[in-house]
Amino acid sequence: MQIISRADAMQKLALRWKRQSVRVGFVPTMGYLHAGHLSLVREARKRAGKNGKVVVSIYVNPTQFAPTEDLAKYPRDLKRDLKLCREAGVDVVFTPDDAEMYPSRQNSKFKIQNSKSFSTYVVEEKLSQSMEGVTRPTHFRGVTTVVAKLFNLVLPDMAVFGQKDFQQAAIIQRMVRDLNFPVKIIVAPTLREADGLAMSSRNKYLDAEQRAQAVILFHALQAAKAAMARKSISAARLKSDLKEFLTAAPQARLDYVEFFNPETLEPVTQVEPGTQMALAVFVGKTRLIDNAKL
């Protein structure tokens, strides 16, 4: 397994693969890998084929974190991540730092910009306006920018994202379509713990009591499915019922619950079979998300 930290070296290798017609599968991550990430690696390997290459990037992207969010304490364990990647048969792990990805990025317009400062961002203006885009208004600009950069450096034939971040996957698909990236986006199913909690690097933040209560997100998805019983139901009524349902977990605090068209992400007033549901819940200070098609 090869470990590359420089952007130019990653792109040079990717261009060589292109000349050799090597198929490349790509899994972008922020590290602290778990079984969910490894399921994406397996999907990338299947799609790339035995003669293809699989690249995993490990980079905690600062531009998708607001100043009040958990960038500084986001879990990191590169040594462990590299071991997992090696065991999973990854060919290349790309581990850039901020200087490689955002040369001399300045946050204030009052600072003098040098000739190498970073000032270009990729913005999706429709699908990013709801749900996560409301709670975290700068988040998706950071996501689309870093993914666009990674696509230009890794030059993959396909990239695999997890369904847990449903809105993110939809936005990446739209970016690829609108900007003509020659990359096929694969959205792989959410991997869950035995009790139903969606696997997430942020689960590490939960203490034992919070971990037990965090399963309320999965139970809320199940409750919404049961409430429908394959019949139409008012979205407003179901939201109210689920907000009450979540009070069963004392440390849980609802951020949002939304029902929407899975293709357009437009909210619906009536929840019917095929409607997508997404929710974000604080358990203690840890913010968790989940979603399901009803």
> 128 in a domain, yes or no?
yes
- Residue 112's pLDDT band (cuts 50, 70, 90): very low
196 belongs to a structural domain: no
Give me the residue label for tokens 């922020």: 30
Backbone angles phi, psi at 36, to 5 degrees: -65, -45
238, two tokens: 């179901």
At residue 256, φ and ψ (nearest 5 deg) are -155, 155
DSSP assignment of 121-160, as one string? Answer: -----SGGGSTHHHHSTTHHHHHHHHHHHHHHHH--SEEE
Cβ atoms of residues 279 and 257 within 8 Å = yes
Residue 18 lies in a domain: yes
* Domain-ending residue, one of 143, 158, 188: 188
CA pair distance 202, 150, nearest whole angstrom? 23
Assess whether pLDDT exceeds 70 at residue 116.
no
- Give the pLDDT confidence of 197-252 residue by residue, as tens digits: 999 999 999 999 999 999 999 999 999 999 987 788 999 999 999 999 999 999 99
Handedness of CA 195, 197, 202, 208 (dihedral sign): negative
**Do 184 and 231 fall into the same domain?**
no
Q: Which of 162, 188, 214 is the last residue of a domain?
A: 188
Domain co-membership, 161 together with 18: yes
**Do the Cβ atoms of 27 and 38 come closer than 8 Å?**
no
CATH of the domain at 28: 3.40.50.620
Positions annotated as catalytic residues are 37
User: Do residues 232 and 166 both lie within one domain?
Assistant: no
Average pLDDT taken over every residue of the chain: 94
Q: How far apart are CA 24 and CA 45, in angstroms?
A: 9
Q: Which residue has the tokens 């300045």?
A: 106
* Same domain membership, residue 237 and residue 130: no
Mean pLDDT of 87-112: 81
Q: What's the pLDDT at 115?
A: 45
pTM tops 0.75: yes
For residue 193, tell me if it sits in a domain: no
When pLDDT is cut at 50, 70 and 90, the band that residue 108 belongs to is: very low
Alpha-carbon distance values, 141 to 112, 156, 157, 162 (Å): 23, 21, 23, 19
Task: Give 270's contacts (C-beta < 8 A, 6+ positions apart).
Answer: 232, 233, 234, 235
Residue 193 has pLDDT above 50, yes or no: yes
Provide the pLDDT for residue 229.
79
Output the pLDDT for position 117. Answer: 80
> Does a structural domain hold residue 195?
no
Query: Domain boundary residue among 146, 162, 188?
Result: 188
Q: How many domains does the chain have?
A: 2
CATH number at residue 230: 3.30.1300.10
Q: Note down the domain range covering 141.
A: 2-188
Residue 172 has pLDDT above 70, yes or no: yes
29 and 169 share one domain: yes
CA distance 147 to 61: 10
Please indicate, yes or no, whether residues 145 and 14 belong to a single structural domain of this protein.
Answer: yes
Handedness of CA 165, 202, 142, 83 (dihedral sign): negative
